Structure 1
Amino acid sequence: MRAETAMTKGEVTRQHIIEKAAPVFNQRGFSGCSMQDLMEATGLEKGGIYRHFASKEELAVAAFRYAMQQTVAARIVDLEKVTGAIPRLMHVVKAFVEIPSPVPGGCPLLNVAAYAESGCDGVQAQAKEAMAAWKARLLGILEDGIASGELRGDVDARRTANAVISMLEGSLVICRIEGTKQARRDAQETLEVLLGGLAA
């Protein structure tokens, strides 16, 4: 008798397609990724892919979701072990700077923004949800810190969360253009000063 948690053959194939397609979409964008690219990446014929996904957009959405899950999981490792709002925020920043996306192509959110003209509404919607989830994680830490008295009462949690995300994602843009990691390190050092100044 098959264990309840075991995947069926169809589910295994579907997951294989997603995992192989994710780097292709992440590196080339929706419009820059052809069915031939996906066939080469997955080792399947067009019909084999469409047996599991009704359209290229459906696969792109699943691939983006997978890429984000992998990236977030890599960057929040051990976060639950960190206590205190400021140490937790510092941990988030450090992880973002030091841990690259495990999916080739870099940050999925940045890539979706770069390929925003692709017209894949499903991926855009997923990216919006992913951004909201990231903001929510930061807001939760900040609001807990304010409530506990660790952070100043006049700290604007929303503004701070937006500033952290903007600086980190912006540093990736600079790094990509300049071909160095300096902007990420500069962002980390600047954010450490900013976040340290939130203490009550």
Structure 2
Amino acid sequence: MSKAERTKQFIIEQTAPIFNMKGYSGTSMSDITEATGLTKGSIYGNFENKDEVAIAAFKFNVKKLQDAFSREIDKQTTFKGKLLVYPKLYSEYASLKVTKGGCPILNTATESDDTHPILKKSAERTLNYWKEKIIYFIDQGILAGEFKAKSIDTERTALTIIALIEGSVMISKLTGNLKDLSNVMLSVTKIIEDLE
């Protein structure tokens, strides 16, 4: 990496937790300069504007989350096992310590839905990627004979799993009660078990 690339990466790594905790609107240029120890000029020398920093920070946070899940998914030998990684890891989300401030998909989608179309588009692409991944695991599980093919609406099942996960993350974050998250993950586990 060149010096410029290292500086850019440093800015992203230092600001990613701030954007995830405070949101786009709540993160000021002062927050960015304070977190990095760089001047405003240095930030703008590496990024065109705050939007670019926010999008890069979102992608960084999502990649950290996806990498944590992918490591566990890759260890599984069945498609059911791969799907069960989601409720298992989300049950332990607080101890994962992947991203400060909770799920970057939920945080960004909630804040940007009416206020920031570029961030909204990034969150939407990430959500669609996740949905397609779950659909793929279900479809492959059907082909492998792990799941019964006739009664499964794969897209509805994938969306239900995601909605339960993100909804329970929101509830547990709001209430501060991690048991709420674990309880809903039992329901997600049951949905996956019932695919057989």
TM-score bucket of the superposed structures, by smaller chain? over 0.9
Q: Quick one: which amino acid aligns to residue 80 of structure 2?
A: I
1:161 aligns with 158
Residues 138-177 of structure 1 mapped to structure 2, 5 A cutoff: 138-153=134-149, 154-177=151-174
Write the deviation string for residues 71-122 of structure 1: whole angstroms up to 9, x where unpaired.
Answer: 1111221312212222211122212221345221110011112312572322
Uncovered stretches (5+) of structure 1, i.e. residues with no partner: 1-6
Q: Quick one: which amino acid aligns to residue 132 of structure 1?
A: N
> 1: distance between equivalents of 2:188 and 2:134?
13
1:10 matched to 2:12? The reply is: no
Find 1:107's aligned residue among 103, 108, 122.
103
Query: 1:159 is paired with a residue of what secondary structure?
Result: helix
Find 2:39's aligned residue among 37, 41, 45.
45
1:86 aligns with 80
Q: Quick one: which amino acid aligns to residue 143 of structure 1?
A: D
Runs of 4+ deviating beyond 3 Å: none
Q: Identify the structure with the greater helix proportion.
A: 2
Moved more, 175-184 or 43-52: 175-184
Taking only the aligned residue pairs, the percentage that are identical comes to 34
1:59 matched to 2:53? The reply is: yes
**Alignment root-mean-square deviation, CA:** 1.4
Find 2:192's aligned residue among 170, 192, 195.
195
1:132 aligns with 128
- Does the 8 Å contact 2:20/2:102 carry over to 1? yes
Query: 2:25 is paired with a residue of what secondary structure?
Result: coil
- TM-score with structure 1 setting the length: 0.91
Q: Quick one: which amino acid aligns to residue 53 of structure 2?
A: L
